[in-house]
Structure 1
Amino acid sequence: MAPRLVHYSDVENVYDSPERVGRLAGLLRDLRGDDAILAGSGDNTSPGVLALVEDGAQALDLFDAVAPDVETFGNHEFDHDLSALRRLVADSPQTWVSANVWRDRTSGERFGADAGVVPATVVEADGASVGFVGVTTERTASINPAATALEFTDPIEAARDALADLDADYTVVLSHLGQGDERLAREVEADAILGGHVPTERRDRIGDTVLTRPGDGGSVVLEVDLAGDVTRHRVADAPVHEGVADAMRERLAETGLNDVVGTVEEPIDRAETTLFGGECRLGNLVADAYRWETGADVGLQNSGGVRTGEALAGEVTAGDLVSVTPFEERVVVAEVPGEALRDAFEWAAGPDLGFAEPDWWHAQVSGASVAWNPETHAVESLRVGGEPLDDDRTYSVALSDYVLHTDDEFPSLREDHRVTTAGIQYEVLVEYARETGIDPELDGRIVEVGTPPTER
């Protein structure tokens, strides 16, 4: 029989919830066995509050408890210092596979080779051998400023070359390509592609290749039979591994982020469908905080930069708010021509972002109001400060410096638009909550044309 593959991915900020990461550890331990291979497909060390403090090393408590077999890099593995990532790789029990991440390709130096990273490996289980190759989205340097020193080559070519060197009964690609998994399946011969990067789940096949993706937030683990069957396991139903949960409680206690900064009467939802569904209370809170800090005409937050998690409810700590935007990115003010700002909102209505679903909305705003059509991906109306946007006017926009760095999101907003720099995103959010309280409301700043408004 073929070995079972136990697939986890994009657990991200699960470490900030001791019980939840304890249940993830408990489920992975329960699914382990001589016939099983535990495999991760990226973003399993960052982002999150503890990840910021520990440079991702808090993941070692989980890894040591469940002993994964093989792992590849997601774009968020590179959120911190590269030397810290090499130490994490060297200290973790699993083999890290990466076929398309280079430190210096001209000299043949792969990233992390000195810490044990290899392009491919073979794992034996249940009397069979499974060859694993790992690839990461080649857009990583664009979407993660901390990764700009690295080269991310064509993942299709890299996966094909690495698979050609394997001698195994079965072959599997650990992929952090998101929507690129479909092309990967069509152009590379593999029995399975275990995917990540996109927060929605996937369980299907293209031709003879099984494709899986557990989604984000450490909520689901997938058990893959290489014959084609996939079983979905809910982490919430699993027993708690108290050793892992206690380790996270101790780490959180040491962060000093347990101070209560505000109280929420009505829970503020952080579900993926909420954050990408148009106007939402959490998005309003973040964008309003940017504008409060800077006095800009418009506050703008990319929806993907607001992280999913448990609802904000009752007493809210500084750590809770750090987890909303857990990146070492500063809020900046950009002076943006009206035409470029219009282009930015039109991009937010579009289907072109690689990790996104076609009908998602990609911007949270303050000081502006937008009406958009999710079927045509068109912005029907756009106002700033209550007036129609003027293409010939220049507007001040407060946003994360990341948005000016990347060309994957809001490409009309450029680094040469930056004029001033303010505080780090999460620090601005914490101070805003301390000064004004936490009571965001829906006020109709983003509406879907022809769609009755819904409570988000």
Structure 2
Amino acid sequence: MRFFRLIALALACGATSACSGFWTRGAPPEPIHITLVGINDFHGQVEPHRTPLKDGQVVEEGGAATLAAYVARLRAANPGGVVLLDAGDMFQGTLPSNLTEGAVVIDVYNHLGVDAAAIGNHEFDYGPVGPGSMAQRPGDDALGALKARIGQARFPMLSANLRDASTGARPAWTGNDGTYLMKVKGVKVGIIGLSTEDTPKVTNPANVSSLRFLPLAPAALEASRSLRARGAEVVVVVAHAGGKCADLSNPRDTSSCDEGDAEILSMLKRLPPGTVDAIVAGHTHQTMGHFFAQVPIIETTGLARSLGVVELFVDPDSRRILPERSRIQAAIPLCAKVDATQGTCDGRRLRNEPQVRLEPASFMAEPVVPDAQVAPLLAPALELAREAQNRQLGLVAATPLARGYTEEGVLGNLVADVLRASANADVGLMNPGGVRADLAAGPLTFGQVFEVLPFDNTVAVATLTGPELSRLLHLAYGNDMGSVFAVSGLEVTLERCPGPGRLSGVALAGGQPLVVDSRKMYRVALPDFLARGGDGLEPLLSTVPPERIEMTPVDGLDLREALVAYGKARGGTLEAPDLGRVRYTGVAGCQQEAR
């Protein structure tokens, strides 16, 4: 009947001006446009990465001021429609951030107008407020530094899967239940924060001993239902959990994505359709910009080099996402100036070019102008960092010392030697994730050593039987990421393909067999982070009697101080150790074939 009434009305109107708006009033309204902007693993990178070029110029990449310019441009393109989210690991990693226990990062984020952030594993690294990364005195609060940053922030820090270990309740000190409900252009948008379940393994376990990190999927489902019940029309997860996709050219093609070892994809597969509408991921420092079951997921390599964008469109009548309209811009580089030929500011690509012509970058058809208001925010922290950065150590690196991660590296071997020598141990063991930069040849400053070893690890010793040491090494090399621990006093043989059975042989230095006998004991020097069970070693070390694990720092040294002492004991020069402590067997490239 409605159809016939419309026809009659149209005939009655004819071409009179009184009915001129008849057809236009029936046109559907435009969808509501929401722009999600995602950053992750900022790690205190308030300054740009600076790379000297062959022609004498310096190219800059990222940093807080350039990030602010890109965010401002996105907001200008969609006024009132931008949601800025951080997927965790905001603080740890640079001198300006570490010397202020992350306060300078919060100043920047408050200025940027961050809407919400996930709590990452490294948010727990600083321990109590002030010197020392662990609670050591009566009254020390192992979560004190993080609580101070939460109190400083003008945005919520979220972890819906975080619980108090003793009560099972959500910790009151976060100030929320792990969710945040906000209005964007009249649309109720719910944000769910999540922390990686592996947090106790990838921060100092002592700092999170009072906490539990629940499985992601059940926590996300519970939080989504809560948000929907409170009126949320769009639900977004911001998670310190991620994955990896090698090819970003087609967001609908997920064939390049590693779905076998992606914590965020494992979570999504366990959620009923419609639980979440978009995900900003982090933790793995790998790129993602793809749709999985129509849910867009973005992640960048972190360190303020890029940001990701998801554009959502909401039907104004049904108040639901229109998935066919969703768009992804993955890993947008943050450049103030770019090479005129290659259009990039990536120093890793430009450093060997004979000549580079830098010109102002543009974003969304507008020139990029770094935010001048950021500099005053950074000034006090940068002054503290400069004083520390330039302090000479009376130490020289004889040659460049490169780290390794999925391969053996001379710098990792050197740190393993430092551990072993400092504790007069039989074996030194160093996790590759604890070595964060290369060392250039020449005189060394504190700042350079800090960049290599930014975590406040100390030298610990575990006295292990032969079978225990063998099991420890199986755990160390049995990770799915393919990371290779550095060793001193040992020679190990690995299968090419990562996985639990990767370690195929181990001997003492020089080829002498490891005595796998419970009566033979070995002193193993390692960072206290590992001695507490970090990086997957907890299944073995939790079974070792406490009296056989010496957590009191050897000679009161942290690992940076131990490195300096090691060099000075050798005439003030750090020599490059030989490679060859790690050997391989099996078919080369089997990791890629397995994928």
TM-score tier after normalising by the smaller chain length = 0.7 to 0.9
What letter corresponds to residue 446 of structure 1 in structure 2?
Answer: V
The equivalent of 2:406 in structure 1 is 277
Q: Match of 2:218, SS? A: helix
Alignment equivalent of 2:416, drawn from 287, 290, 293: 287
Distance 2:493 2:176 in 1: 48
After superposition, where does 1:214-225 map in structure 2 within 5 Å?
214-225=300-311
Identity rate of aligned residues, in percent? 26
Query: Which whole-Å deviations, capped at 9, do the CAs of 1:314-365 have from their partners, x for residues lacking one?
Result: 443112212323333321122111222222222233234xxxx3xx133111
The equivalent of 2:86 in structure 1 is 40
Inter-CA distance 90–283: structure 2 relative to 1 (3 Å threshold): same
Residue 383 (str. 1) matches residue 429 (str. 2) = no
Q: Match of 1:12, SS? A: coil
Query: Which whole-Å deviations, capped at 9, do the CAs of 1:406-450 have from their partners, x for residues lacking one?
Result: 265233345533247412222212322344323324421112225
Query: Which whole-Å deviations, capped at 9, do the CAs of 1:73-110 have from their partners, x for residues lacking one?
Result: 00111112223222211212222222122347738452
Distance 2:442 2:185 in 1: 49
Residue 176 (str. 1) matches residue 312 (str. 2) = no
Inter-CA distance 264–128: structure 2 relative to 1 (3 Å threshold): farther
Residue 192 (str. 1) matches residue 278 (str. 2) = yes
Inter-CA distance 433–59: structure 2 relative to 1 (3 Å threshold): farther
Unaligned 5+ segments in structure 1 are: none
1:304 and 1:362 in contact (8 A); partners too: no
The equivalent of 1:29 in structure 2 is 69
The equivalent of 1:440 in structure 2 is 576
1:261 and 1:433 in contact (8 A); partners too: no
Query: Considering only CA atoms, is the larger Rg found in Structure 1 or Structure 2?
Result: 2
TM-score, length-scaled by structure 1: 0.86
The equivalent of 1:137 in structure 2 is 196
1:130 and 1:169 in contact (8 A); partners too: yes
Q: Match of 1:222, SS? A: strand
1:280 and 1:442 in contact (8 A); partners too: no
TM-score, length-scaled by structure 2: 0.67
After superposition, where does 1:51-450 map in structure 2 within 5 Å?
51-79=97-125, 80-81=127-128, 82-103=143-164, 106=167, 108-113=169-174, 116-126=175-185, 128-143=187-202, 144=204, 145-166=206-227, 167-178=231-242, 179-188=262-271, 189-226=275-312, 227-235=326-334, 237=345, 241=371, 243=375, 246-255=379-388, 258-264=391-397, 266-270=399-403, 275-307=404-436, 309=437, 312=440, 314-352=442-480, 357=481, 360-375=482-497, 377=499, 378-386=502-510, 387-392=512-517, 393-406=520-533, 408-410=535-537, 411-414=539-542, 416=545, 417-419=548-550, 421-422=553-554, 423-436=557-570, 437-449=573-585
2:479 and 2:498 in contact (8 A); partners too: no
2:389 and 2:445 in contact (8 A); partners too: no
Q: Displacement, 1:290?
A: 0.7
Distance 1:106 1:142 in 2: 22
1:10 and 1:43 in contact (8 A); partners too: yes
1:299 and 1:366 in contact (8 A); partners too: yes
Q: How many residues get paired? A: 440
What letter corresponds to residue 491 of structure 2 in structure 1?
Answer: S
What letter corresponds to residue 307 of structure 2 in structure 1?
Answer: V
What letter corresponds to residue 251 of structure 1 in structure 2?
Answer: L
What letter corresponds to residue 235 of structure 2 in structure 1?
Answer: T
Structure with greater strand percent:
1
Instruction: Tell me whether 282-291 or 145-154 shows the greater mean CA deviation.
Output: 145-154
Distance 2:581 2:70 in 1: 47
Inter-CA distance 135–452: structure 2 relative to 1 (3 Å threshold): closer
Distance 2:566 2:385 in 1: 22
Inter-CA distance 322–97: structure 2 relative to 1 (3 Å threshold): same
Instruction: Tell me whether 415-424 or 15-24 shows the greater mean CA deviation.
Output: 15-24
Distance 1:376 1:409 in 2: 14
Unaligned 5+ segments in structure 2 are: 1-31, 51-59, 129-142, 243-261, 313-325, 336-344, 346-360, 362-368, 590-595
Inter-CA distance 165–299: structure 2 relative to 1 (3 Å threshold): same
Distance 2:523 2:264 in 1: 39
Query: Which whole-Å deviations, capped at 9, do the CAs of 1:278-328 have from their partners, x for residues lacking one?
Result: 210221121111112122111101122222x46545443112212323333
Q: Displacement, 1:398?
A: 0.7
Q: Displacement, 1:51?
A: 4.2
Query: Which whole-Å deviations, capped at 9, do the CAs of 1:230-272 have from their partners, x for residues lacking one?
Result: 33222354765560554542130354763244344644345xx
